[in-house]
Structure 1
Amino acid sequence: MSYNIALNFEDGVTRFISCNEGETVLDAAYRNQINLPMDCSDGVCGTCKGSCHQGDFELGDEYIDEALTDDEAELGMVLTCQMVPSSDCVVEIPTASSLCKTGIATVNATVTEVNLISATAIELKMTADEDVGFLAGQYVNIQVPGSEEVRAYSFSSTPGSCDLSFLIRNVPGGLMSSYLVGQCKAGDILNLTGPMGVFYLRQVLKPVLMLAGGTGLAPFLSMLEHLKNSELNQPIHLIYGVTHDDDLVGVAALEKFAAEIELFSFKTVISSTESSHPLKGFVTNHMQDAPIQEGNVDVYLCGPPPMVDAVLGYFHEHDIEPNSFHYEKFTPSQVAIGEHVA
């Protein structure tokens, strides 16, 4: 038996390795030609210290307190030279991927569909030559054909599959948008680098509030694809806001998720005053059903900068401090590096 271990480096790069039963993460990484930091490999120096908050593992008692204290272990800190997984895990490595003689992976993908699903949104589907190995919520850089430019887009598809999908904002005159709308066709080969990003779904141990703006819905579609195959005992609530009625895409997918995931609910909000939509305004105007519960909630937020700033302001104004807060801003040309507050 083997387990999939996601190594998340501090520069946002994620690499997946296979760890055999009884094997330490450090040994598995070296076997996969990734040189994680280490000096002793005996639980003495503490050089290989990282953290793991997702997955099951054993540390044993072969390390000394100077390398990892009991208090650190209680907080999820680990020594990769001692960590033996008993399930798939996500391990945070506090160093850059380049210092571990690894880096961003590159893969080619063949376009299978490109659809203009609204005036402001494009759906791009591709089949990759190999498994990209991303965490639900992460993004990849896609090179614009005929140029050296890249654009960053969040996956909207299920992790662990070569069939990839993206929900992309249609920017009039934009380099990638112009290609996708005017030139792209099935059979085109695109170059992808990644995955990257610290905005990804953590283990669901508390109620979850998802806040999406526009095509910021994409990473949540990936998260929900992942969650529909999980055993949940916490509520998941999504508030999805757009500007105009025509900007509202993906509703059929959300309705399907609501039917498949017992504890999932969602609402949609239109900010335009000209809309006849029953819920108007901004996502912060419709938080009454959100499972905030005096901060006992994990919040995930993805949208344009004004929306992100407004939500952060809402929580500050109402003196609400969530259990964890993960957010990602995106601009018309790229997805910004996500941030998270534990």
Structure 2
Amino acid sequence: MSFNIALNFEDGVTRFISCNVGEKVLDAAYRQKVNLPMDCSDGVCGTCKCHCASGEYNLGDDFLEDALSEDEAQQRLVLTCQMVPDSDCVIDVPVPAAACKTGIGSFEGTVIRSEALTPSAIELVIALDKGVDFLPGQYVNIQIPGGTQVRAYSFSSLPGDTQASFLIRNVPGGMMSTWLGQHAKAGDVLTLTGPMGSFYLRPALRPILMLAGGTGLAPFLAMLRQLAKTPAEQPITLLYGVTKDTDLVMVEALNELAARLPNLTWLPVVTDEASTCPQKGYVTDHFSEELLNQGEVDVYLCGPPPMVDAVLRSFRERQITPANFHYEKFTPSQNATDNAAA
């Protein structure tokens, strides 16, 4: 038996390692050629201090308070030279991946299909030799065949699946959109790098409000599929905003997830005044006191920059500060350096 440990570096790179029962994280990382920061390795200096974002662990008591104070331990700061996981964990490492002599992983996938779901959205499904670990919500860079340029897309599939899916905005004249629409065929080989990103599902400790704009629905499909596997008791609401009725995609998949997650409510929101959707306007028009829960809510937002700015402005005007607010902006030409998440 072993535990899956996600190491999130400050430059957005995520590296997964396997940690045996009773093994310290620092030792497991070194065994897998990831040189986490360290000096003494005895719980004395504090050089290996990181933050455990989720998971259960034991620190023992063989370390000095100068290395890790009681207050720091209460905030889930850990010494990786002393930390022994009791479950899968996510650890934030406060240095770039390159400083730990590791980097972005690279792998190949084979196109199964590229399908235009609507005039504005394409679903790309690829086969992988083996499942890829990632945190639901994270993205990879996909290299455009025939060139060196890449575009960043969030997984909509589950971590570890041997089929990976992506929901891609169809940009007229866009390099990836053009390739997918005019050239892609089953059997084509794609190169992907990642996973990356700080936009990912955290433990569900309070009500969850998900806000998706257009193809920003993709990471939420991955999150909801994960939640369907390991259900949370907290209520989950997804507001899915699009411009026109015809822009709505993956409705059947969302209904199936709602059937598996009785605490999930999802609502389409359409800006077009001629829409037949009961919820018209913008997602911010449908914030209720119940949804915002006086700030005791974890908000996840993925959409174009104007949507992100509008949500931030709405929170300010309502004088609401969510307990946790994780967001990701995307643009049509997004790549790893364009990706903005918080």
- Using the size of structure 1 for normalisation, the TM-score is 0.98
CA RMSD of aligned residues (A): 1.0
For residue 297 of structure 1, report the CA deviation from its aligned partner.
0.6
Note the residue ranges of structure 1 that are not aligned, 5 or more in a row: none
2:249 matches 1:222? no
Conserved in 2, the CA contact under 8 Å of 1:10 and 1:97? yes
Q: How does 1:197-212 map to 2 (within 5 A)?
A: 197-212=197-212
- Using the size of structure 2 for normalisation, the TM-score is 0.98
Q: How does 1:161-172 map to 2 (within 5 A)?
A: 161-172=161-172
Q: How does 1:158-197 map to 2 (within 5 A)?
A: 158-197=158-197
2:307 matches 1:329? no
CA distance in 1, matches of 2:278, 2:290: 18
Counterpart secondary structure, 1:185 = coil
CA distance in 1, matches of 2:231, 2:275: 38
2:235 matches 1:235? yes
Aligned residues: 340
Conserved in 1, the CA contact under 8 Å of 2:298 and 2:322? yes
Conserved in 1, the CA contact under 8 Å of 2:231 and 2:261? no
2:169 matches 1:134? no
For residue 45 of structure 1, report the CA deviation from its aligned partner.
0.5
CA distance in 2, matches of 1:22, 1:331: 44
CA distance in 2, matches of 1:194, 1:132: 9
Conserved in 2, the CA contact under 8 Å of 1:304 and 1:329? yes
Note the residue ranges of structure 2 that are not aligned, 5 or more in a row: none
Give 1:298's aligned residue.
298
Superposed CA deviations along residues 298-332 of structure 1, whole A, max 9, x for unmatched, are 10000000000000000011000111100000001
CA distance in 1, matches of 2:111, 2:129: 11
CA distance in 1, matches of 2:130, 2:195: 13
For residue 21 of structure 1, report the CA deviation from its aligned partner.
0.2
Superposed CA deviations along residues 126-149 of structure 1, whole A, max 9, x for unmatched, are 012333211000000000001111
Give 2:124's aligned residue.
124
Give 1:258's aligned residue.
258
Counterpart secondary structure, 1:228 = helix
Counterpart secondary structure, 1:334 = coil
CA distance in 2, matches of 1:122, 1:339: 23
For residue 289 of structure 1, report the CA deviation from its aligned partner.
7.0
CA distance in 2, matches of 1:271, 1:283: 9
Conserved in 1, the CA contact under 8 Å of 2:242 and 2:269? yes
Superposed CA deviations along residues 114-166 of structure 1, whole A, max 9, x for unmatched, are 10000000000001233321100000000000111100000000012221000
Q: How does 1:48-67 map to 2 (within 5 A)?
A: 48-67=48-67
For residue 290 of structure 1, report the CA deviation from its aligned partner.
5.3
Q: In the alignment, residue 86 of structure 2 is paired with which amino acid? A: S
Superposed CA deviations along residues 254-294 of structure 1, whole A, max 9, x for unmatched, are 11111001211110010012222221100001112753211
CA distance in 2, matches of 1:269, 1:301: 14
**Structure 1 stretches of 4+ moved >4 Å:** none
Of the structure 1 ranges 283-292 and 144-153, higher mean CA displacement relative to structure 2 is found in 283-292
Q: In the alignment, residue 331 of structure 1 is paired with which amino acid? A: T
Conserved in 2, the CA contact under 8 Å of 1:124 and 1:168? yes
Counterpart secondary structure, 2:330 = strand
For residue 339 of structure 1, report the CA deviation from its aligned partner.
2.6
Q: How does 1:92-111 map to 2 (within 5 A)?
A: 92-111=92-111
Counterpart secondary structure, 1:331 = coil
Give 1:273's aligned residue.
273
Counterpart secondary structure, 2:257 = helix
Change (3 A) 1:192 1:205: same
CA distance in 1, matches of 2:258, 2:282: 22
Q: In the alignment, residue 114 of structure 2 is paired with which amino acid? A: V
